[in-house]
């Protein structure tokens, strides 16, 4: 699994683009890199673009292990008062991938210091990331 993170200092949006075959190790690597670069100090919205990633081999134990990894990793982050909650949108190309990501997302809702939504439509993902105010449900 390969990934790139584009989020220059002062940017209004960080973008993670993934490629190849999705693996638990690959997910852990890009998440650790992203948290190390972005979440400790800024509330820049993050778009994770998995449209070029094959998630078909990710099984429920992989999804559960990754969810535990994310929860543990994010529990170590200190948020500054009034900094707001970071938004993270995951963009996928297929309904199967949408379901796999939702298996990860639903149990984390309210348990980690980020707000995450899954989308099939890139325009809807960007609109949600840049919107202010109420949360919106995952795109179906």
Please report the pLDDT score of residue 98 as a whole number: 93
Q: What burial class does residue 53 get, using C-beta atoms within 10 Å of its C-beta: 0-12 exposed, 13-18 middle, 19+ buried?
A: buried
pLDDT surpassing 50 at residue 75: yes
Task: Parse the chain into domains and list their residue ranges.
Answer: 2-130
Digit-coded pLDDT (tens) for 88-131: 899 999 999 999 888 888 877 777 777 889 999 999 999 999 88
The CATH number of domain 2-130, selected from 3.30.9.10, 2.50.20.10, 3.30.750.24, 3.40.50.300: 3.30.750.24
Distance CA 53, CA 113 (A): 26
């Amino acid at each position: 699994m390969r990934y790139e993170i584009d989020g220059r200092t002062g940017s209004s949006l960080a973008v993670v683009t993934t490629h190849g075959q999705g693996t638990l190790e690959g997910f852990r690597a890009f998440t650790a890199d992203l948290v190390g670069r972005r979440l400790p100090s800024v509330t820049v919205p993050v778009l994770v673009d998995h449209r070029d990633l094959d998630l078909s081999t990710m099984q429920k134990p992989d999804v559960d292990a990754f969810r535990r990894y994310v929860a543990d990793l994010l529990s170590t982050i200190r948020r500054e008062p009034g900094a707001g909650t970071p938004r993270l949108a995951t963009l996928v190309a297929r309904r199967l991938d949408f379901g796999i990501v939702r298996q990860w997302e639903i149990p984390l809702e309210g348990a980690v210091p980020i707000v995450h939504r899954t989308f099939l439509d890139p325009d809807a993902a960007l609109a949600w990331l840049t919107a202010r105010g109420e949360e919106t449900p995952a795109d179906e």
